[in-house]
């Protein structure tokens, strides 16, 4: 399931992130790549342990906590602290798959990467190329959204970032371990939740149809969730 979530960050949030990133140190993006991915990755990143990286990651996590679509679609149990990358002209990330397991920094715990997320921080007219190319079960999807928008997709997907041909593409990226690891089940629950929302627009919460749909949703979640 590939989901576009508009406006995760406000224009003010984006401007703040850009200002902080603009005065930060950038390093080779291969520092967070696995052995195989490192051979395909050509970009820059903010150091994971930097003060700027921590502060901006906290901001993104706060916004995600308030975002109903993200929480409905990802059903997050744990979220990896967001990272920040940059593709200048000529940079790209060839086709790869994300590591299945990642250590959560400073915790001693690990996270299973069920859902991948890219949060765009550059406006569309600031760069050419740089599409996120996701090999989905329904074909190849090319993603390029305005600053502040985010895309969610299964971490099991092969994906790449096409070469930037003009300007610079800045983004945040991270992974979530979902309470429901199976993408088909997550998709059904998300669609079910959207149907409940639409039904509640026309029927009161006390209506038997609303109560029945809500009960079935939570019973399916209870059946499939891993905590």
Please report the beta strands in the chain, taking only residues with DSSP state E, as ranges in sequence order. 3-5, 27-28, 41-42, 44-45, 76-79, 83-88, 92-96, 101-103, 110-112, 115-120, 127-129, 132-136, 139-143, 150-154, 159-161, 164-178
Instruction: Tell whether residue 12 is among the known ligand binding residues.
Output: no
Instruction: Tell whether residue 30 is among the known ligand binding residues.
Output: no
In contact, 13 and 21? CB cutoff 8 Å = no
CA distances from 97 to 36, 123, 159, 182 (A): 9, 26, 6, 17
Instruction: Tell whether residue 98 is among the known ligand binding residues.
Output: yes
Instruction: Tell whether residue 169 is among the known ligand binding residues.
Output: yes
Binding-site members are 96, 98, 159, 169
Binding-site members for 2-oxoglutarate are 169
Binding-site members for Fe cation are 96, 98, 159
């Amino acid at each position: 399931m590939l989901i576009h979530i508009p406006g995760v960050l406000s224009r003010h949030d984006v401007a703040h992130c850009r200002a902080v990133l603009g005065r930060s140190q950038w390093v080779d993006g291969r520092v967070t790549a696995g052995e195989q991915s490192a051979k395909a990755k050509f970009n820059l990143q903010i150091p994971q342990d930097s003060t700027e990286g921590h502060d901006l990651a906290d901001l993104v996590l706060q916004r995600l906590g308030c975002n109903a679509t993200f929480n409905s679609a990802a059903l997050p149990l744990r979220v990896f602290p967001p990272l920040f990358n940059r593709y200048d002209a000529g940079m790209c990330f060839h086709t790869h798959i994300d590591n299945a397991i990642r250590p959560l920094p400073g915790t001693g715990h690990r996270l299973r990467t069920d859902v991948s997320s890219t949060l765009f921080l550059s406006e569309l007219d600031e760069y050419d190329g740089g599409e996120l190319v996701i090999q989905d079960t329904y074909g190849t999807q090319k993603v390029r959204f305005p600053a502040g928008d985010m895309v969610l997709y299964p971490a099991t997907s092969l994906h790449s970032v096409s070469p930037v041909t003009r300007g610079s593409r800045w983004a945040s990226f991270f992974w979530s371990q979902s309470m429901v690891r199976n993408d088909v089940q997550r998709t059904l629950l998300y669609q079910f939740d959207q149907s409940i929302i639409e039904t509640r627009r026309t029927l009161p919460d006390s209506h038997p149809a609303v109560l029945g749909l809500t009960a079935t949703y939570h019973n399916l979640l209870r059946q499939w969730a891993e905590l």
